[in-house]
Amino acid sequence: VEAQDYLHGDRAKAKVIPFWPGFLAKDFMYVSFFMIFVMYLVCYHFNFAMDPINFEPANPLKTPPHIYPEWYFLWQYEILRGFFFDIAGISAYNIGLIAFAFAGVAFMLIPLFDRSDLVAPAHKRPLFFVWFWVLVADLIVLSIYGKLPTGGINDWIGFYASLLFLVLFIIALPVITILERKRG
């Protein structure tokens, strides 16, 4: 209604503004402020996110213990090294590699695991809502322990967090789907 009033010339009664220049000028201003801030960081503080360990001299004969991937791969790295002992005659290396590969494709496989007929947001699906927040907490734990050195309690927390990740996708999500079908 307001747009029709504006188009017919009654600009005082209409509650709209023209898309250009009024609406887009605001967006251009905020993008300009952001770009000025980014250029300031890039030009004057280019190493603000660097790890101080990267500036230590390297020893070519020894791999340093602090090597870890970028922050967005830490959770997957912890799943890879989370299995640190052999299980049922399968080497820890192979178990970790299988879990790592599954973790890499797990998020693409969510539609195959979540076959619920209920099409609703997560807050309308209470079991899925809990599953989602447990997954988020588990990914945070995996990311934190993926950066820490191995040994002691770090190994066991990484193992249990890796196991929980696999259980959440392989067992919990299909069970939640079955329970939602029965209830819904």
> Would the pLDDT of 9 be above 90?
no
How far apart are the C-alpha atoms of 41 and 38, rounded to whole Å? Answer: 5
Higher pLDDT, 78 or 117: 78
Find the mean pLDDT for residues 38-43: 93
102-120 pLDDT, tens digit each: 999 998 888 887 777 777 7
Higher pLDDT, 57 or 32: 32
Closest residue by Cα to residue 71 from 51, 43, 53, 55: 51
> Would the pLDDT of 36 be above 80?
yes
Higher pLDDT, 101 or 123: 101
